[in-house]
């Protein structure tokens, strides 16, 4: 079975990974001596890189703080005092995005306000979704949550160099891949809203999914070569699952065909994307990816069956409403 896209052309076109490998990345980590030791150690290790194109410095905050204006980003590991707020303010003043990492976001934010240097909410990064009164253990689960949020922040503020960051710092890979999946899923959902000749939208959605797979491969540091072609078989699987579900749902309730196309396009694109993440993070185990796609197919089939059961009741009412 052949993909309905020019794979070789795409591989030749997507050369960003080679450029990203040679793109310079500059990060300064500023440490407040009042910050928890385990948090400091984790952040330092997260931004350690053996790449010759990465410049990472670690500096302790003091009253003589001077920002590096050429940095791409700055990371402040904060204690519960106003020093982080003042330092972040100085960094923003010279055009350097500043992430403030803490285990006590409420205290750090309040201390910054008291010092007259409020920190924007989006720049305070913590592994906790909500502030808690008790001290938390900095375990593997907490560290993973922190990595996810640090990665999302860098993806949002450093979009031009986000691939270079992912290649340099492994904790960045999953957040970047998830961002790629979200963007592609929304694009395919948009394609589902556009009226096409039946089947004409499938090549467009498939092309978007192929690009998504190659971009995720790049985020995980994979070369753009013929080895990527075998992974695109999962795109075909997702594309034909999508087409089958749409046909089944549209047959049940024709008046809402565009809604079903949109939902299925979004869902199957997302399923394919996360299957590819599992593939790369699971040691390129094709069985694991196949299992993810199988679960997505089963879930979609259940939805289709439920819609069909209710179609006899829903369809006449919808047809009457749309005809008024």
**pLDDT tens digits, one per residue of 100-126:** 999 888 889 999 999 899 999 899 999
Instruction: Give yes or no for a contact between 210 and 232, defined as CB atoms under 8 angstroms apart.
Output: yes
Q: How far apart are CA 299 and CA 255, in angstroms?
A: 23
pLDDT of residue 6: 58
**pLDDT tens digits, one per residue of 245-289:** 555 555 555 544 555 566 667 777 787 788 788 888 877 666 665
Lowest mean pLDDT among 10-14, 43-47, 259-263: 10-14
Give helix then strand counts, H and E, for the chain.
Answer: 12, 5
- As beta bridge partners, residue 73 has 27
What percent of the chain has pLDDT above 90? 37
Lowest mean pLDDT among 38-52, 176-190, 225-239: 225-239
Tokens of 236: 């075909």
> Hunting for tokens 């906790």 — which residue is that?
128
Sign of the dihedral through C-alpha 258, 262, 264, 268: positive
Mean pLDDT of 28-53: 93
Mean pLDDT of 1-10: 53
Q: How far apart are CA 228 and CA 225, in angstroms?
A: 6
Mean pLDDT of 168-174: 95
What 3-state DSSP class applies to 219? helix
Given a cut of 80, whether residue 299 has pLDDT beyond it is no
Tokens of 125: 């990064």
**pLDDT tens digits, one per residue of 207-224:** 788 788 888 888 888 776
| 150 vs 275, higher pLDDT | 150
What 3-state DSSP class applies to 29? strand
Closest CA to 265 of 281, 288, 249, 287: 249
């Amino acid at each position: 079975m052949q993909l309905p896209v020019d794979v070789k052309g795409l591989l030749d076109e997507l050369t960003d990974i080679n450029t990203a490998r040679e793109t310079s990345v500059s990060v300064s980590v500023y440490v407040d001596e009042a910050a928890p030791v385990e948090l400091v150690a984790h952040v330092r290790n997260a931004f350690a890189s053996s790449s010759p194109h990465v410049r990472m410095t670690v500096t302790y905050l003091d009253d003589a703080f001077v920002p590096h204006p050429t940095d791409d980003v700055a990371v402040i590991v904060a204690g519960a005092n106003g020093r982080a707020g003042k330092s972040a303010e100085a960094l923003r003043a010279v055009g350097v995005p500043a992430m403030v990492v803490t285990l006590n976001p409420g205290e750090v934010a309040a201390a910054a306000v008291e010092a007259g240097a409020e920190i924007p909410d989006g720049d305070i990064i913590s592994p906790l979704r909500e502030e808690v009164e008790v001290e938390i253990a900095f375990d593997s689960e907490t560290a993973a949550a922190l990595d996810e949020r640090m990665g999302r922040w860098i993806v949002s503020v450093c979009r031009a160099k986000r691939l270079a960051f992912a290649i340099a710092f492994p904790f960045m890979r999953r957040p970047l891949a998830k961002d790629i999946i979200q963007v592609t899923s929304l694009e395919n959902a948009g394609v589902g809203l556009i009226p096409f000749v039946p089947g004409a939208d499938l090549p467009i959605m498939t092309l978007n999914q192929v690009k998504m797979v190659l971009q995720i491969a790049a985020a995980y540091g994979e070369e753009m070569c013929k080895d990527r072609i075998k992974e695109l078989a999962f795109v075909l699987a997702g594309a034909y699952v999508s087409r089958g579900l749409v046909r089944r749902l549209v047959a049940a309730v024709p008046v809402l065909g565009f809604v079903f196309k949109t939902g299925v396009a979004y869902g199957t694109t997302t399923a394919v994307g996360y299957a590819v993440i599992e593939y790369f993070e699971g040691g390129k185990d094709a069985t694991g990816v196949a299992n993810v796609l199988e679960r997505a197919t089963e879930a979609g089939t259940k939805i289709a069956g439920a819609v069909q059961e209710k179609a006899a009741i829903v369809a006449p009412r919808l047809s009457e409403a749309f005809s008024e």
